[in-house]
Amino acid sequence: MASRILPVAALLMGSAFLLFAGGINALILPVRGAGEGFSSFVLGLLGTSWATGHVLGCVLTSRLVARVGHIRSFSVMCALAGLAVLTSLLFITPWAWIPARAVSGFCFAGAAMIVEGWLSERADPSSRGTLFGVYMTCNLFATTAGQMVITLGDPMGFVFFVLAAMFYMLALIPTAVSSSVSPQPLVSISLDLGELYRRSPVSVVAALFVGISNGAFGTLAAVYATGVGLSLSTVALFASVPVLSGALVQLPTGLISDRVDRRMVLVGTAIMALAADLTFIAIEPTGPIAALAAVAILGAGIFTMYPLLVAHANDHASPETYVLTSGGLLLVFGVGAVCGPLIAGALMQVLGLHGLFLTTASAHIVIIAYTLWRMSIRSAVPDDQKSTFVFHSPTRSETPQTDTLAPLGAEAEGEATAPTS
């Protein structure tokens, strides 16, 4: 394994620095914003602006790279992300934070796409699955470490903003000094909602509402945890434990979905998430253990649904369209992630902290109801016609390029280019 990892170690390190900075940035803003007295609606706008920037980054980065190349584009992305963080420190006002957060989302998507494109180019088909697993593991731990580092100091100071900016700058060094040739052009996404919906209605509709749910929770979980009086260390755990639990249950969930109707597994994960939503609404656990246990169950549900949807959509797609299918679903998810924080922030402003979980619960109810209805009118895909379930990072790091690095992408490429008899 070492012989496969060492040639791309520099790129993996750059990605880890990027995700570490992103973990700090994603948590320090809602925690600091709540301390500064920003309203829940304004804090929700931070998530909306980040998701908007991320979607635009996924769409436009390939054009930028085609014009100026990978290294220059990546350097620009990291530099702008660092400037956005420092701008948030210099101007403690929503009018500066909201556009700066959109810039961060754009740069984060663009930088991740370039790193993933480089890794995909360097990986041969025999090592792609291993490399993809190592890459996702590095990203997961880097994001979690970035969130947990918030517990080591005062979020009302300047240190964490500067630290995030420093790691964004560090992220560009491995690619800047890399001697490897630039990879092939990045994957461009085409969004054909009509075709996607005709092939897999459940995947399209559920992706929208999973985006609403996950976008709302990812943006405002720290605001909720702070509002109910949890300590700073528990707030950090409240944001990171769901990510870890979501990662842990993906493999068994994927194995089950490869053997039964994926839609039934989707309903089960949505019911699990809904149960956690209702726990927060009805009981409002404020003890650290109870709160973390409930949010771990929530994470196991919400962060498993999206990879199920990708796998289900690919069950109805041809191998050569896997990447376009996944890219289209990513953009539908992104639209939901734009709306989710806005809706939850407005409800929290009017109804209090419960507004967050009223938003997520409503999204999960729609997913359950629509999926059950579709199951009543369309039969399941036979097991021998299913695609392979692929692990997806539960962090908000997915880009169209991720699927070219995934084992599924390698499998699709192999099938698409196999000679016919």
Higher pLDDT, 354 or 409: 354
Q: Kindly tell me if the per-residue pLDDT of 378 is higher than 90.
A: no
Q: Three-class SS of residue 167?
A: helix
Give the torsion through C-alpha atoms of 5, 8, 9, 15, to 10 deg. -120
Q: Kindly tell me if the per-residue pLDDT of 179 is higher than 70.
A: no
Q: What angle do CA 336, 234, 20 make, to 5 degrees?
A: 60
What pTM was computed for the model?
0.88
Q: Look at residue 188 in the predicted model and tell me its pLDDT.
A: 65
Q: Is the CB of residue 21 less than 8 Å from the CB of residue 83?
A: no
For 45-141, list the strands marked E by DSSP.
Answer: none
Q: Look at residue 185 in the predicted model and tell me its pLDDT.
A: 65
Q: Residue 412: which pLDDT band, with cuts at 50, 70 and 90? A: very low
Secondary element (H or E) of residue 288 = helix 288-315
Least confident of 26-40, 61-75, 174-188, 242-256: 174-188
Residue range 314-342: average pLDDT? 81
Helices (H) and strands (E) in the chain, counts: 16, 0
Q: Look at residue 406 in the predicted model and tell me its pLDDT.
A: 72
Q: Residue 414: which pLDDT band, with cuts at 50, 70 and 90? A: very low
Q: Kindly tell me if the per-residue pLDDT of 419 is higher than 70.
A: no
For 313, the token pair is 């959509």
Domains by residue range for the chain, with CATH: 9-178+188-416 (1.20.1250.20)
Tens-place pLDDT, residues 6-21: 667 777 888 889 889 9
Residue range 174-189: average pLDDT? 67
Interatomic CA distance for residues 275 and 281, integer angstroms: 10
Residue 76 is which amino acid?
A: V
Q: Look at residue 273 in the predicted model and tell me its pLDDT.
A: 97
Q: Look at residue 93 in the predicted model and tell me its pLDDT.
A: 93
Average pLDDT, the chain: 85
Q: Kindly tell me if the per-residue pLDDT of 413 is higher than 80.
A: no
Q: Residue 321: which pLDDT band, with cuts at 50, 70 and 90? A: low
Q: Three-class SS of residue 273?
A: helix
Q: Residue 114: which pLDDT band, with cuts at 50, 70 and 90? A: confident
Q: Look at residue 180 in the predicted model and tell me its pLDDT.
A: 60
Q: Look at residue 265 in the predicted model and tell me its pLDDT.
A: 93
Q: Residue 418: which pLDDT band, with cuts at 50, 70 and 90? A: very low
Interatomic CA distance for residues 80 and 187, integer angstroms: 22
Share of the chain above pLDDT 90, in %: 48
Q: Look at residue 182 in the predicted model and tell me its pLDDT.
A: 62
Neighbours of 289 (CB within 10 A): 9
Interatomic CA distance for residues 376 and 379, integer angstroms: 8
Q: Look at residue 416 in the predicted model and tell me its pLDDT.
A: 38
Q: Look at residue 356 in the predicted model and tell me its pLDDT.
A: 96
What is the DSSP track for 36-60?
TT--HHHHHHHHHHHHHHHHHHHHH
Residues 6 or more apart whose Cβ sits within 8 Å of residue 329: 196, 203, 204, 207, 306, 309, 310, 313
Q: Kindly tell me if the per-residue pLDDT of 420 is higher than 50.
A: no
Tens-place pLDDT, residues 261-316: 889 999 999 999 999 999 999 988 888 999 999 999 999 999 999 989 888 888 87
